[in-house]
Amino acid sequence: MGVSTELFVNAIIAGILLGGFYAAVTIGLSLSFGILDIVNIAHPAFIIVGSYIAYILNVSFGIDPIIASIVALPAFFALGMAVYQLYYSSFEKYGQEALRGLAFFFGLLFVTEVMLILVFGVDYRYVHASYIDTTLHFGFVDVPLRMLIPCIAALILVGLLILYLTRTFTGRAIMAVSQDQGALQLLAADPVKIKRIAFGLSIATASIAGALLIVIQPVEPSVGREYIGRIFAICVLGGLQSLPGTLIAAMLIGVMESMTATFYGPSWAPAVAFGFLLLTLALRPQGLFGR
């Protein structure tokens, strides 16, 4: 087998693993932007906060980063509910979300990043776990556990969320709130409360996504910026409201980026997702799997 075929297969496998991780990063946004219509551009900032919490717990107590992120879940959930309450009472209630709501999240993104810089500095931080330096070899295919474990964790996260949204009352109410708030009110469910829970969930996923991020690569505060466009691209490409769509779109972007990095050099990779996003917005704004 030629070297280029080996490169090609490795690039595809790496891309799929990367895509699984992207799904975990994006799934929170599919909840907030896709379903609740809240343009939370600060989502990557919450993810980076998740990375740093996993880092602190890992370095000071030696807890595995992914387990640490599960420990931090309730705190993130509460944080998300609080942010939604502020957003609702300041903007959404008055129909001001278009301009000021966006500016609010932009400010939040910025403030979080600068605070992290002030506290931790701009040095790259990384975590220790037994699996980070191990790589499995299947013939010429390399599968680093550093990528495989985040991918599996991400798939579990997405699966659980899909189950929650389709099987439980609250989950179905979250899906319903995006379609018809009035109808939901007739069923005696408070749309604001449902949205608060949904936004809490969305931020809670950022805790896990953050831990996965710091397992995959060292993190510094401005890393989040690279993810803004990427996760919006995946979210839009996946058709906004569809969680399985998000997963497939994430894999697609992952593979495209990995191929671009392998064959054209890593400096071109960031443009892939964004180029895809611009194309999608121009040609098929409802996304690949949109209704």
Partner 1 sequence: MKSPVFFIVCLAVAAVVFVFGLVLKNDYFFFAGYTVLQYVVLATGWNILGGYTGYVNFGSAAFFALGAYATVVLHKVLPLPVPLLMLVGGVVAGLVGLGMGYLTLRLRGAFFAIATLALAIVLQTLVVNWDFVGGSRGAYIIRPNTLDVAGLQIPYIEYLFGLMLVMAVVALTVARGIEHSRLGFGFATIRDDEQAAEACGVPTLRLKLYATTISGALMGMAGAPFPYYIGYLQPSSAFGLEYAVNSIAMPMIGGTTSWAGPLIGAVLLGSLQQIATVTISSAVNLLIVGLLLTGFVIIAPNGILGLVEKLRGRSGGSVRRAIADNTADPAPTQGAAR
Widest pairwise Cα distance in the chain: 64
Q: For partner 1, what does the binding mask look like between residues 158 and 197, x meaning CB under 8 A?
A: -----------------------xx---------------
C-beta of 95: minimal distance to partner 1 in Å?
4
Among 174, 197, 233, 255, binds partner 1 (CB under 8 A): 233
Cα angle for residues 153, 238, 103 (degrees, 5° grid):
95
**Per CB under 8 A, 95 contacts partner 1:** yes
- List CB contacts of 66: < 8 A, sequence separation 6 or more: 54, 149, 150, 153, 208, 211, 212, 215
Closest by CA position to 145, among listed 155, 137, 135, 157: 135
Contact 28, 205 (CB under 8 A): yes
Residues 128-157 that bind partner 1 (CB under 8 A): none
C-beta of 57: minimal distance to partner 1 in Å?
25
The tally of CA atoms less than 13 A away on the side-chain side of residue 231 is: 29
C-beta of 133: minimal distance to partner 1 in Å?
30
DSSP bridge pairs for 143: 136
Q: Which two tokens stand for residue 187?
A: 């069923």
Q: Which two tokens stand for residue 75?
A: 């705190």
**Per CB under 8 A, 228 contacts partner 1:** yes
**Per CB under 8 A, 115 contacts partner 1:** yes
**Per CB under 8 A, 80 contacts partner 1:** no
Residues that bind partner 1 (CB under 8 A): 33, 37, 39, 41, 86, 90-96, 98-100, 102-104, 106-108, 110-111, 114-115, 117-118, 181-182, 225-226, 228-229, 232-233, 236, 267-268, 270-271, 274-275, 277-278, 281-282, 285
